[in-house]
């Protein structure tokens, strides 16, 4: 490594192809070609990418990759060198090589801005210079930018300047007088050309906008205009539109139209001139009889800094027409009528006139859409008409009328004038309240809480004010001395119907009454609706076992002979349920049984029968627990315990006393019952007669007006009275003849008819005979056994 050799220089142009020959290093460096491989010759490029390579077979230096001079030497210098070392080993030797990269014309001139915009006033004098953006060329020397060219133009040329570093600069020079009205925009092409062979070029677009100056005065299409206008034209009618033109632009072309001093004040009062659009409109009343023509002097002035103006004259000729409209005058009028006024009632007196004469002064008066109005016009005298009611009025159909009186003259063309009067129809109480339906059926489940809302009944009255204010109340009706107002309450203001007591389906099934809605008119009108309350049943009654009878908590004993055959009827369990339908359907089940193979129970009729004959092994006493269950949800049940004893010989006995049924109907007990029944019936008849007499003598009560402040107290008092009503006499028979007949058959033993006196709990309230429903409720007495007999 101890010594350095002299530098070897080569020159090549850039962009040579890969593999191109540069120099023969072996020859130039005095080396044997074979030693290059042996001494491991290699090329080391200093501070650059390795663009070259050594062919060790031939000793040549070749291009490994294309070389771009502009990427190696970033600055625009005339000289560009690529330094490298050739290194040999065994022994080590280093050869310094400098490779000069020579420029070729491989880059075209490029403008930094492809499009350049310039704004130049048309008042700019010729010779004015404007700087342009220069083009750049990455090449150097003769290959750099040489000159500029401008597309052909009689208004512009260019001036090329050379800088101290040899760069070319260009200025745009105005060579002619600009006129925006002739050319508003100039489009030029600037071309930069380099000095290479062949030369390369780049272009840029120059867009020059010529700015306007106010150098043109407005011009009208003609100096004098003649226009016809009809007299009595409506205000705002466009007579004509003036249109002046100005070749300038912007504010210099914005025109303002105005009257000159030569236009009379009267003309300016009758006609308006829009300063922006130039529209001439009718502003006042044009009357042919006063003036047949008008003359206007109008100028159009632009808005430039030094405004310019143009002038014209407009002559308006008035065309005569039937210009006087007929007039309608209301002499007297009623602004309101009640809807019950009689046909022929006078509403208003109307007069008509027309200032014209002859045919143009003859007028005709009519009602607009008269076929739809309940009114007519009656001519009372020349020029006077009466407006009368022709049909009955109904405020509920139409509450206000807009009556349009139309008067027309017979001129050509005819003129028409309208006058509208408003007639308000006042309400009278001629409509009774109406319910949405005539019959309401309401279902209420029994055991409802007192005060429960049942429904809301609402009526509608099409009248107004106090004639439509409704009050609801229950029409009084008594059921077995119980007033409906003690059972139900209605809110007098909104018709909400409430129940005042808890209903029991087993005592009352339905209620039928009327509710009246009355308005506050004078005289008041009312209507009523029928309300049917249906009580729905709940499963709230436990089945009651009535056969066989037994004391509370006691065991029923039955005795049968041991020689009883299979299928023998031992006993029949009968239970009744005060509920209805599914809730009263009772089925029977064996809850406990001593021997399941000995007895059977029919789940529907409650018959207990033997399933086989008794054997000597069977015990003498059998115990059965039977449950009677209804079909409600949830189901309720009752049980009875039957103790069956078997004997060798049967004896007729029962829980109480068996009485033989005799054929003598008039026993002492029956006689007492007949006498008692006759006495009670006589007292009941006397009581009814006394009540009828008292009712007939009672004076007719006067209607008492209840102030609104006391209504709540009345409702609360009704509620208190209703709470004292505990029962309603609309009871329903629980038992029937069919049941007693089945009980009668069940107690038949071996052809002997016996009647038992069952033990019924006192106050149970069950009927023991078939009583017509219309008789009403009945209380059982202590002589139940006698009644049963």
Distance CA 715, CA 701 (A): 20
Written as six digits, the tokens of 303 are 């808005």
Asked whether residue 403 falls in the same domain as residue 439, the answer is no
Q: How confident is the model at residue 653 (pLDDT cuts 50, 70, 90)?
A: very low
> 351 and 277 in one domain?
no
The last residue of one of the domains, among 102, 119, 148, is 102
Of 11-20, 201-210, 440-449, the one with minimum mean pLDDT is 11-20
Q: Are residues 248 and 273 in the same domain?
A: yes
Q: Is 768 part of a structural domain of the chain?
A: no
Q: Has residue 746 got a pLDDT over 80?
A: no
The residue out of 211, 228, 246 marking a domain boundary is 211
Cα 392 from Cα 295, distance rounded (Å) = 61
pLDDT tens figures, 316-354: 998 877 777 888 988 888 889 998 899 999 999 999 988
Q: Can you give the residue range of the structural domain that contains 30? A: 8-102
Give CA–CA dist 508/506, Å, rounded.
Answer: 6
Phi and psi for 15 in degrees, rounded to 5? 65, 25
**Cis ω for the linkage preceding 413 (within 30 of 0):** yes
Task: List phi, psi (to 5°) of 746.
Answer: -65, -25
Please tell me the predicted confidence (pLDDT) of residue 424: 92
Look at residues 536, 568, 590 and tell me which one is the last residue of a structural domain: 536
Please name the residue that has the structure tokens 């009827």.
Answer: 569
- Across 260-374, the runs of DSSP E, i.e. the strands, are 271-273, 279-282, 293-302, 309-319, 327-333, 336-338, 346-353, 363-367
DSSP 8-state code for residue 752: B
pLDDT score at 699: 56
- Pick the closest to residue 733 from 578, 587, 583, 585 (CA basis): 578
| Residue 97 forms part of a structural domain | yes
* 478 backbone dihedrals φ, ψ, rounded to 5°: -105, 135
Quick one: pLDDT at residue 552?
Answer: 64
Burial label, 440 (beta-carbon count in 10 A; 0-12, 13-18, 19+): middle
511 and 439 in a single domain? The answer is yes
- Residue 129 included in any domain: yes
Query: Would you say residue 154 lies in a domain?
Result: yes
Report pLDDT for 310: 93
Task: Show Cβ contacts of residue 524 under 8 Å, excluding neighbours closer than 6 positions.
Answer: 429, 518
78 vs 632, higher pLDDT:
632
Same domain for 516 and 467: yes
**184 versus 779: which is more confidently predicted?**
184
**Cα distance between residue 159 and residue 132, in whole Å:** 10
Q: Is 719 part of a structural domain of the chain?
A: no
Considering the domain architecture, whether residues 531 and 552 belong to the same structural domain is answered as: no
Residues in the chain: 789
Give 703-735 pLDDT, tens digit per residue: 434 344 344 333 333 332 333 333 322 322 333
Residue 331: its pLDDT value, please? Answer: 87
Q: Supply the CATH number for residue 596's domain.
A: 2.60.40.60
In a domain, 687, yes or no: no
Using CA atoms, how far apart are residues 691 and 441, in angstroms rounded to an integer?
A: 33
Strand (E) or helix (H) holding 600:
strand 599-601
Domains in the chain: how many in total? 6
Which residues, including other chains, have CB under 8 Å from residue 742's CB and lie 6 or more apart? 572, 574
Q: Are residues 228 and 266 in the same domain?
A: yes
User: Is residue 677 in some structural domain?
Assistant: no
Element housing 528 (H / E): strand 526-536
Q: Give pLDDT tens digits for 556-598.
A: 888 888 888 888 888 898 988 888 877 888 899 888 888 888 8
Label residue 407 by pLDDT band (50, 70, 90). Answer: very high
Answer yes or no: is pLDDT of 745 > 50: no
> Mean of the per-residue pLDDT values for the chain?
80
Query: What is the pLDDT at residue 497?
Result: 93
List of residues 6+ apart from 346 with CB closer than 8 A: 334, 386, 387, 388
Residues 96 and 127 in one domain: no
- pLDDT value for 385: 92
d(CA 238, CA 227): 11
**Residues 405, 439 within the same domain:** no
The reply to whether 626 falls in a domain is yes
| Residues 596 and 633 reside in one and the same domain | yes
- d(CA 199, CA 176) in angstroms, rounded, equals 32
């Amino acid at each position: 490594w101890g010594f350095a050799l002299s530098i070897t220089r080569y020159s090549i142009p850039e962009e040579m192809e890969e593999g191109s020959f540069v120099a023969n290093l072996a020859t130039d460096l005095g080396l044997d070609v074979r030693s290059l491989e042996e001494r491991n010759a290699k090329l080391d490029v200093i501070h650059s990418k390795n663009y070259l390579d050594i062919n060790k077979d031939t000793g040549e230096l070749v291009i490994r990759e294309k070389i771009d001079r502009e990427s190696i030497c970033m600055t625009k210098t005339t000289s560009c060198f690529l330094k490298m070392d050739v290194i040999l080993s065994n022994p080590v030797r280093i050869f310094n090589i400098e490779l000069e990269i020579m420029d070729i014309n491989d880059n075209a001139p490029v403008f930094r801005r492809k499009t350049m915009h310039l704004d130049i006033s048309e008042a700019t004098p010729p010779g004015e210079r404007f700087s342009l953006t220069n083009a750049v060329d990455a090449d150097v020397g003769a290959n750099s930018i040489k000159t500029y060219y401008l597309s052909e133009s009689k208004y512009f040329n260019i001036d090329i300047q050379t800088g101290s570093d040899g760069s070319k600069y260009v200025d745009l020079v105005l060579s002619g007088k600009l006129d925006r009205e002739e050319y508003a925009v100039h489009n030029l092409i600037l071309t930069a050309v380099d000095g290479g062979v062949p030369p390369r070029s780049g272009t840029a677009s120059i867009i020059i906008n010529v700015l306007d100056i106010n150098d043109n005065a407005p011009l009208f299409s003609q100096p004098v205009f003649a226009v016809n206008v009809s007299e009595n034209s409506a205000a705002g009618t466009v007579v004509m539109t003036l249109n002046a033109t100005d070749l300038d632009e912007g504010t210099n072309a914005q025109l303002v139209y105005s009257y000159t001093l030569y236009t009379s004040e009267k003309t300016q009062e009758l006609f308006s001139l829009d300063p922006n659009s130039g529209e001439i409109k009718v502003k006042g009343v044009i009357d042919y009889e006063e003036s047949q023509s008008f003359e206007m002097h109008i100028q159009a002035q632009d808005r430039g800094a030094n405004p310019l103006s143009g002038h014209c004259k407009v002559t308006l000729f008035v065309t005569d027409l039937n210009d006087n409209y007929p007039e309608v005058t209301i002499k007297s009028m009623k602004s309101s009528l009640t809807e019950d006024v009689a046909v022929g009632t006078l509403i208003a007196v109307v007069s008509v006139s027309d200032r014209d004469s002859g045919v143009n002064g003859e007028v005709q008066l009519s009602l607009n859409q008269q076929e739809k109005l309940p009114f007519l016009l009656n001519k009372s005298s020349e020029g006077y008409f009466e407006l009368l009611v022709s049909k009955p009025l109904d405020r509920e159909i139409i509450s206000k009328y807009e009556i349009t009186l139309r008067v027309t003259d017979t001129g050509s063309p005819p003129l028409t004038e309208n006058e509208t009067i408003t007639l308000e129809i006042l309400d009278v109480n001629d409509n009774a309240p109406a319910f949405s339906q005539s019959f309401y059926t309401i279902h209420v489940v029994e055991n409802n809480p007192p005060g429960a809302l049942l429904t809301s009944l609402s009526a509608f009255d099409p009248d107004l004010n106090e004639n439509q204010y409704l009050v609801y109340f229950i029409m009084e009706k008594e059921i077995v001395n119980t007033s409906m107002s003690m059972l139900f309450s209605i809110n007098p203001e909104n018709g909400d119907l409430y129940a005042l007591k808890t209903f029991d389906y087993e005592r009352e099934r339905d209620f039928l009454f009327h509710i009246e809605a009355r308005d506050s008119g004078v005289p008041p009108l009312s209507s009523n609706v029928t309300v049917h309350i249906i009580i729905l049943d709940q499963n709230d009654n436990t089945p009651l076992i009535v056969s066989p009878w037994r004391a509370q908590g006691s065991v029923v004993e039955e005795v049968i002979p041991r020689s009883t055959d299979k299928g023998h009827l031992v006993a029949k369990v009968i239970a009744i349920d005060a509920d209805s339908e599914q809730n009263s359907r009772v089925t029977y089940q064996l809850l406990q049984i001593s021997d399941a193979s000995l007895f059977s129970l029919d789940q529907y009729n409650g018959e207990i029968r033997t399933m086989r004959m008794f054997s000597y092994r069977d015990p003498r006493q059998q115990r059965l627990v039977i449950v009677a269950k209804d079909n409600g949800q949830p189901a309720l049940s009752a049980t009875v315990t039957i103790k069956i004893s078997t004997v060798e010989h049967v004896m007729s006995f029962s829980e109480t006393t068996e009485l033989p049924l005799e054929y003598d109907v008039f026993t002492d007990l029956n006689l007492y019952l007949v006498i008692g029944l006759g006495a009670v019936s006589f007292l009941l008849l006397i009581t009814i007669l006394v009540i009828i007499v008292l009712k007939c003598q009672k004076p007719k009560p006067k209607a008492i007006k209840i102030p609104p402040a006391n209504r709540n107290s009345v409702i609360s008092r009704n509620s208190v009275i209703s709470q004292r009503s505990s029962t309603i006499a609309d009871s329903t028979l629980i038992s029937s003849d069919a049941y007693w007949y089945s009980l009668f058959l069940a107690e038949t033993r071996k052809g002997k008819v016996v009647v038992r006196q069952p033990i019924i709990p006192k106050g149970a309230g069950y009927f023991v005979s078939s009583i017509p429903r219309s008789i009403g409720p009945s209380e059982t007495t202590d002589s139940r056994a006698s009644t049963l007999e």
